[in-house]
Amino acid sequence: MVTVSVPEKTYQVQILKGMRHEIGKRIQQVWSTRQVLVMTDENVAALYLSDTVTQLQAAGYQVTTLVLPAGEHSKSLACLEKAIARLAEKYFTRADGVIALGGGVIGDLAGLTAATYMRGIAFIQIATSLTAQVDSSVGGKTAINLGQTKNIMGTFYQPDLVLIDPTYLKTLANRDLVEGYAEVVKSSALAGGEFWQLTGRIQTVNDILTNASELITQSVTYKAKIVMQDERETGIRKYLNFGHTIGHAIELLAAGGLRHGEAVSIGMVAITKRFVAENVSSFEFLQALSQRLRVVGLPITSALVSQPAMIAQLAHDKKNLSGILQLVAVKEPGQPVIIKKSLAEMTEFIEGAS
C-alpha cells in the first residue's frame, strides 16, 4: 500500500493480488452507501463488469453502468457529455460517486466526469491495465483529447482510493501489457538505484508478469513521491513527462497505429539521442534504456519523429510556455533535468541526431 498525501486530499493506493474479489469491502472502507456510476470499456466489461457490479450491490451500493468503446477515441467531449448525461438522468448528487473500471482512457475520462459533474463528486480508480496501474491512476490527472491535441482539456482531481490487482494483467494481450511497461521503464530511469536495476533484469514479457507486483509498487512509490512534492506540475512533476513530448506528438500522427506506451518508448529514445548529441545524457544510459525497451518488444524508432508535422505538433504540448518547451532529459539513471528549448530551435534539435 502506498499513501498519497496532497494539500486537499490523502488517499491510499492499494496493491494486492486477488483484490478484485474484495472490491465491495475495500470501497466500504472509504465510501458510505450511495449511488455509483461504474464506467468501463467494452473489453473490460466483458471480463470484469458483472462480477464488479455484483460485489458493489452486495455491499449496498446502487449501481449504474456506462460501457464505452475501447480505445483512445473515447477520450472525447462526446463521451464526457454521455457520462455526465447518465449521471443527471439517474439524479446523482454530490453525495454519490464515479468508479473507473479500466485502463488509462477510462480512468482519465471518469476522473474528468467526476471533477466536472456538479463541480465535483467522489471518484475511485480500479486500474486494470499496466499503464493505469503504474502511472495514470495515481496523481489526479484527468483529461480528454480535442481534435488532434492530446489531453488538452482536463483538470487535477484526486481519487478517494486506487485499487490495483496485478491479476487483472493476465487477461491483457501481450501488446497491451508491454505498452504499459514503457511507463515502468520511464519511472525506473527517473528513479535510478534499485528500481533501475530491477528493470534491467526484465528480459521477457513473462518476466513482466512474474515481477508485476514489485514493478507496480516501485512505480507507484516513485510517482507518489513526486506528486506529493508537486501536485500541480509546476516543478519536478514535469520529470514524469520524460519521452512524452515527442511521444504524444507521434502518437497522434500515427492515428491509432501506435499505442501510448509504444509512442512513449520511441519518444524516450528519440529525446535521449538528441541529448547525447548535446552531451547532456550519456551514451551508456541511451544504450541501457534502449535495451530495456527493445528486449520486451517495444519499438524504439519511428520515421514520424523527424517529420515536419511532428515538430508542428509540439506547439500544442502542455509544457509549451510562450514558445518555450521544457524538455526532460535524463543524464544518468536517477538524474533527470529540465532543458528549455524554443519551438524555433526544435527542428535543428530533432534533425541533429537523425
Query: Do 213 and 89 reside in the same domain of the chain?
Result: no
Q: The C-alpha cell of 314 is what?
A: 509540439
108 labelled ligand-binding: yes
Length of the chain equals 354
Q: What is the per-residue pLDDT for 352?
A: 67
Residue ending a domain, among 152, 171, 190, is 171
Catalytic residue among 20, 244, 274, 292: 244
- Separation between Cα atoms, residue 149 and residue 156, nearest integer Å: 18
Q: What is the per-residue pLDDT for 318?
A: 67
Does the annotation count 223 as an active-site position?
yes
The mean pLDDT of 158-164, rounded to a whole number, is: 98
Catalytic residue among 20, 186, 260, 274: 260
Residue ending a domain, among 171, 196, 216, is 171
Does the annotation count 73 as an active-site position?
no
Q: Rounded to 5 degrees, what are φ and ψ at 334?
A: 90, 5
In the chain, what is the straight-line distance between the N-terminal and C-terminal CA atoms, in Å? 43
Residue ending a domain, among 156, 171, 186, is 171
CB 152 within 8 A of CB 28: no
Q: What is the per-residue pLDDT for 312?
A: 86
141 labelled ligand-binding: yes
pLDDT digits (tens, 9 = 90+) for 170-219: 999 999 999 999 999 999 999 999 999 999 999 999 999 999 999 999 99
Rounded mean pLDDT of the chain?
Answer: 95
Name the residue among 27, 5, 290, 17 with its Cα closest to residue 162. 27
Q: What is the per-residue pLDDT for 211?
A: 98
Q: The C-alpha cell of 192 is what?
A: 535510478
164 labelled ligand-binding: no
Does the annotation count 81 as an active-site position?
no
pLDDT digits (tens, 9 = 90+) for 102-157: 999 999 999 999 999 999 999 999 999 999 999 999 999 999 999 878 889 999 99
Catalytic residue among 75, 248, 259, 318: 248
Q: Is the pLDDT at 255 greater than 90, yes or no?
A: no
- Separation between Cα atoms, residue 4 and residue 230, nearest integer Å: 12
| pLDDT bracket for residue 25 (50, 70, 90) | very high
The parent domain of residue 48 ranges over 2-171
225 labelled ligand-binding: no
Catalytic residue among 20, 75, 237, 273: 237
330 labelled ligand-binding: no
244 labelled ligand-binding: yes
Q: Is the pLDDT at 19 greater than 60, yes or no?
A: yes
Percent of the chain exceeding pLDDT 90 equals 88
Does the annotation count 248 as an active-site position?
yes
Q: Is the pLDDT at 256 greater than 80, yes or no?
A: yes
Catalytic residue among 179, 233, 251, 262: 233
The mean pLDDT of 57-75, rounded to a whole number, is: 96
Query: Do 99 and 202 reside in the same domain of the chain?
Result: no
129 labelled ligand-binding: yes
Catalytic residue among 20, 186, 223, 273: 223
User: What CATH number has the domain bearing residue 164?
Assistant: 3.40.50.1970
Query: Do 160 and 246 reside in the same domain of the chain?
Result: no
Does the annotation count 21 as an active-site position?
no
- Separation between Cα atoms, residue 235 and residue 237, nearest integer Å: 6
Query: Do 291 and 329 reside in the same domain of the chain?
Result: yes
Query: Do 111 and 71 reside in the same domain of the chain?
Result: yes
Does the annotation count 244 as an active-site position?
yes
Does the annotation count 9 as an active-site position?
no
Q: Rounded to 5 degrees, what are φ and ψ at 307?
A: -75, 145
Catalytic residue among 43, 145, 151, 241: 241
Does the annotation count 273 as an active-site position?
no
Query: Do 133 and 205 reside in the same domain of the chain?
Result: no
128 labelled ligand-binding: yes
25 labelled ligand-binding: no
Query: Do 235 and 344 reside in the same domain of the chain?
Result: yes
Q: Flag the least confident range among 256-265, 301-310, 311-320.
A: 311-320
Query: Do 78 and 136 reside in the same domain of the chain?
Result: yes
82 labelled ligand-binding: no
Whether the model clears a pTM of 0.85, i.e. scores above it, the answer is: yes
Q: What is the per-residue pLDDT for 226?
A: 97
| pLDDT bracket for residue 340 (50, 70, 90) | very high
Domain count, the chain: 2
Q: Which residues are within 8 A (CB) of 111 and not within 5 positions of it... i.e. 6 or more apart?
A: 98, 100, 123, 125, 140, 141, 142, 157, 159
Query: Do 143 and 267 reside in the same domain of the chain?
Result: no
| pLDDT bracket for residue 353 (50, 70, 90) | low
Q: Is the pLDDT at 348 greater than 90, yes or no?
A: no
